[in-house]
Structure 1
Amino acid sequence: MIGASPINWAMLVAGNEHTATAISYNEIACYGALAIGAPLGVILSKNLGMEHIAIAIFITALLGLVYTSSLKPVYGNSTSEQIPFLKVLKLVTPFGICLGLAGLGFGGLSNFITLYYDYFNWNNAALCLSVFSSLFILGRRLFSNQINVKGGLNVALICLITEAIGLFLLFLAPNESLALIGAAIAGLGFSLVFPALGVEAVKLAPATNAGSALACYALFIDLSLGATGPLEGTVINVFGMKYLFLFCAIMVVVGILIVIRLMNKKQTAI
């Protein structure tokens, strides 16, 4: 609910022609919080205790609630006919699957990077997540307009290839310095996957279904992150910790193949 609602809110305020920008800046805020939160959580835990992380989260959420409650509600004004929810879900599913596959790389970093660093006896695992998030934000800030210039599928393809390269580098990294470079490249690649595919997915539904289309599409990243623990945990148990990011990279390559198929299908339709 928190993930999809603010994006839809921003889309209503900015207008459909600024969908990519609305999605991009929302995710900048989200991953900016992640970049700050990882090291901040370590500091709070070490100096004040684990329970103070929970207190900080509660206070932050309360401040967000107070702020949003003070703002005027925004409503859509489209008169186009709505289509059933399941039909919307069917329309966005191919794009959502690509997003979910790309999300496995982020999920591997956020859930297992500490264990991955510990496996190789490396230090500063939190820094790896911060570097990923920082390059994610930089990519969104510098290149989000390329979605309007080159098209969502073209940008998504470039981003997925970049993310796969970063994940392969993480898998091959012999030390923590190269692992940081791999995380940076993966973060840069993942940065525009959500808005690039999201713009294409939302276009398929009527304007009155834009919110539900976005919610259906965003559902796949939630499913991806939810499946990360058991799925990648199984990979680690069966093949070993060192193959974690190889698995993530292969999943992103599958996403690349799906995007290429979507591009061919779109070209054929034209």
Structure 2
Amino acid sequence: MNERQSLWTKDFILICLTSLFMFTSFYFLISTLPMYVTGVLKGSERNVGYIVGILTITAVLVRPISGYMLDTMGRKGVVVLALVAFVAVTFAYNLATSMLILFLLRAVHGFAWGFTSTGAGTIASDIVPAARRGEGMGYYGLAGTFAMAVGPVLSLYILDRYDFNTLFTTGAFISSLALLCVLGIKSFESNMDKPKTKIGLNSFLEPRVYSLSVVIFFVNLTYGGIVSFITLYAMELNVANAGIFFMVYGVSLLFVRPYAGKIFDKRGPNQIMSIGFVALSTSFFVLFMAKGYLMFVISAIILGIGFGIIQPTLQAMAINRVEPFRRGAVNGTIFTALDLGIGIGSILLGFVSNTLGLSYMYLICAFIVIIPMVVFFWKDAKMPSKQIS
């Protein structure tokens, strides 16, 4: 009977729309804020690095705290307050007349982003039926994937025809739609039976998902090589528009995520994760071998298959491993690992590329994938994947 539980409820649709609007507003600034730093504020490329990096740092710092607050103070209230701050800081970019002001706004934006992204994912995991968690979290993740494709394109379209004030105001408006969607979700709390414990490290991080977090860290360490260097690699390969990589990658994710989630729900993680790890490693090997447009695009397709399988499966496994009142801590833990993986990967792989070149950097990424694969099949593959009571 559980297999037939409805997935597409009003609340699930609203939390997916929340993610879509929230991520779209976030991605509005990914490709345009560096232009604002160098073009309007006359900053340097080093300033761009500071402005981009501070958001990741503050988001990493706040995620464990956000998880604790989501579990102890209630999901909806925390997310609503965080989204109010998210909307306000996005609009406040209109007031960024100096590098210092922009730096402070990005720090606040990082705090709000840490709370909203962790909170929305936790609410989604509460809403999705346990028997369809892999499928449901796969669909939920598609909202962020679609936003990743739409956000930068829409922001550049606006900037080409209007100005930065219009861009920031539109971003604030889109994030306000996310706030409206959350307000429309039925008020519920899943932490009413939470046992009272002393505050400690385990209040903010969930030890039962540490091994999964290690897998997530190393998987996203390789993704740091994509987000930071794929544009430069496209130039080396004489690919005119590196955006085609992310577009193809996003389309691949759209097809793979729901399918992978259904397999996880029916058969468990081992078979589908084997395919995911092989696809991920293969995608980097294809990038290493690429000489032009064709293999560049093929690698994006295979990368989408790998990440489309691995990310939602690991998240569903992590949620299933704990009681409902610990889901906030779980999301805070795994999202912290995700952010750290991308951030540290960008730095470490930058050193590798400077020494060996970009192609060999991607070859090394293909071998790095072996680390999370070994950790997964050593620590996690034999553990129960169903929701604990």
TM-score scaled by structure 1? 0.86
Q: Is the 8 A contact 2:126 2:190 kept in 1?
A: yes
Moved more, 11-20 or 125-134: 11-20
Structure 1 runs of 4+ with >6 Å offset: none
Q: 1:164 aligns with which of 281, 305, 324?
A: 281
Name the structure 2 match of 1:86.
202
Moved more, 136-145 or 50-59: 50-59
2:223 counterpart of 1:106 = yes
Q: 2:144 aligns with which of 10, 18, 30?
A: 30
Q: 1:119 aligns with which of 221, 231, 236?
A: 236
**Whole-Å Cα distance in 1 between the matches of residues 377 and 302 of structure 2?**
21
Name the structure 2 match of 1:69.
183
**TM-superposition CA deviations, 1:173-223 (whole Å, max 9, x none):** 111221110111011111121221223323332332123123212221121
Gaps of at least 5 residues in structure 2 are: 1-114, 385-389
Give, as a single letter, the amino acid of the residue that structure 1 aligns with 2:278. Answer: I
**Whole-Å Cα distance in 2 between the matches of residues 233 and 157 of structure 1?**
28
Change in 2 beyond 3 A, CA 1:210/1:188: same
**TM-superposition CA deviations, 1:47-79 (whole Å, max 9, x none):** 556776545433322322233234333211663
Q: 1:231 aligns with which of 345, 348, 357?
A: 348
TM-score scaled by structure 2? 0.62
Name the structure 2 match of 1:175.
292
Q: Is the 8 A contact 1:92 1:201 kept in 2?
A: yes
| Higher relative contact order, structure no. (Cα contacts within 8 Å, ≥ 6 residues apart) | 1
Q: Is the 8 A contact 2:134 2:260 kept in 1?
A: no
Moved more, 235-244 or 70-79: 70-79
Gaps of at least 5 residues in structure 1 are: none
Residues paired across the two proteins, number: 267
Offset of residue 45 of structure 1: 4.9
**Whole-Å Cα distance in 2 between the matches of residues 98 and 206 of structure 1?**
21
**Whole-Å Cα distance in 1 between the matches of residues 161 and 231 of structure 2?**
19
Name the structure 2 match of 1:16.
130
Change in 2 beyond 3 A, CA 1:116/1:59: farther
Q: Sequence identity of aligned pairs in percent?
A: 21
**Whole-Å Cα distance in 2 between the matches of residues 266 and 13 of structure 1?**
24
Name the structure 1 match of 2:213.
96
Q: Is the 8 A contact 1:103 1:224 kept in 2?
A: yes
* Greater C-alpha Rg: 2
Name the structure 2 match of 1:191.
308
Name the structure 1 match of 2:51.
none
Q: CA RMSD in A?
A: 2.6
Moved more, 126-135 or 79-88: 79-88
Name the structure 1 match of 2:371.
254
Change in 2 beyond 3 A, CA 1:172/1:78: farther
